[in-house]
Amino acid sequence: MHQVVSPGEFQVAPRATPNRLARAWYLLTKTARSPTPYLMAFGILLWVFVYWLLCEGLKLPRFVKIPGPITVLSEWLSPNPQQGISIFTPEYYEHIYVSCRRIFIAFCIATSIGVPLGLVMGWSRTFRDYTFPILETLRPIPILAWVPLAILMFSGYETPVIFLATLASLYVTALNTMLGVQSIDEVYFRAAGCLGSSRWDVFRHVVVPGALPFIFTGLQISIGVAWFSLVAAEMVSGDFGLGYLILSSYMNSVTVPMVIAMLTLGFVGWFTSAMVRFVGNRLMQWHARALALQGR
């Protein structure tokens, strides 16, 4: 008995995988031919060399108490670390998991509130006149200044930390989204009005797509702001997390786990920013094609 296959399935299925593989191979070879990966590798090696030179090579007085890269790497990769933290200890991954979970929750809350808030602020002048002064008044207040209020408002260790990371991320997301709406050329609004579009249609098809580049730029900045706000909050109110590990290592005079936590924070923060950038590039392929047509 033969299976009936529709013409659309017969045509699309065999072509999908080769096209994707060919595109992936093209992007890989294009990246390999460009100087970017080699310059990145050279920059990292140069940084490691300067770090080694200051701490272990020249042993300058200001850096004598800071563990060098060889000491940090040997402890980081040791099955039996002398100062308690390495890639073989479960506690190390628990700190990473707790911080990543908090960042994920805070980033989702900030995005779900900040993006709609910024869209409406950019779209409605009346709403912006009410809300923008409030944001501009609260935004300069340092996150550490919110710590006592967060501890008083929320119980436990988890909620105050998430609140502080959300608060810092919210301002960046909302303001970048508002700037994205304001950057849209007025010609598009007039064209939509001439075609008889309703306000809701203009909002969906002009405002939201036009603000997307600014939104994802804001989200990349937002997740970085959330990370350093989270670490500051974990140092004050926390039982696990990379920020708590940095503070507890300093208080116990064990410097190697402190540097390991800092480097881990850098790698994890870079990876999360790259994920946001990847999602933004996938959702804004039309924008990349428009820039290519302009020769940018």
80-126 pLDDT, tens digit per residue, is 999 889 999 999 999 999 999 999 999 999 999 999 999 999 988 89
Residues 222/107, Cβ–Cβ less than 8 Å? yes
Whether residues 45 and 163 share a domain: the answer is no
- Alpha carbons 177 and 48: distance in angstroms, whole number: 37
What kind and span of H or E run contains 69?
A: helix 69-76
When comparing pLDDT for 296 and 52, which is higher?
52
pLDDT surpasses 60 at 11: no
pLDDT-derived band at 9 (thresholds 50, 70, 90) equals very low
50 is a domain residue:
yes
- Which pLDDT score is estimated for 293? 53
Given a cut of 60, is residue 1 above it in pLDDT? no
Q: Which of 43, 66, 89 is the last residue of a domain?
A: 66
Residue 296 has pLDDT above 60, yes or no: no
CA dist list (Å): 164 to 65, 114, 238? 32, 15, 12
Residue 65 confidence (pLDDT): 87
Residue 110 placed within a domain: yes
Q: How far is it, in rounded angstroms, from Cα 71 to Cα 291? A: 47
Q: Which domain covers residue 191, as residue numbers? A: 76-293
Rounded Cα distance between 264 and 72, Å, is 12
Give the separation between CA 213 and CA 262, rounded to whole angstroms: 31
Which pLDDT score, from 0 to 100, does residue 144 have?
Answer: 85
The CATH number that applies at residue 115 is: 1.10.3720.10
pTM as predicted: 0.81
Mean pLDDT value of segment 253-260 = 92
Mean pLDDT of 218-229: 91
Residues 191 and 108 in one domain: yes
Same domain flag for 169 and 26: no
Question: Would you list the DSSP string of 211-227?
Answer: HHHHHHHHHHHHHHHHH
96 versus 239: the higher-pLDDT residue is: 96
Q: Is the pLDDT of residue 259 over 90?
A: yes
User: What's the domain count of the chain?
Assistant: 2
Judge whether 123 lies within some domain: yes
Answer for the pair 123, 148: CB distance below 8 angstroms, yes or no: no
- Residue 2 inside a domain? The answer is no
Within a domain: 1: no
What was the pLDDT predicted at 34? 80
Higher confidence at residue 281 or residue 167?
Answer: 167
Q: What is the mean pLDDT of residues 230-255?
A: 86
Mean pLDDT computed over every residue of the chain: 84
Cα-trace Rg, the chain = 24
Q: Say whether pLDDT at 267 is over 90.
A: yes
Q: Does residue 71 lie in a domain region?
A: no
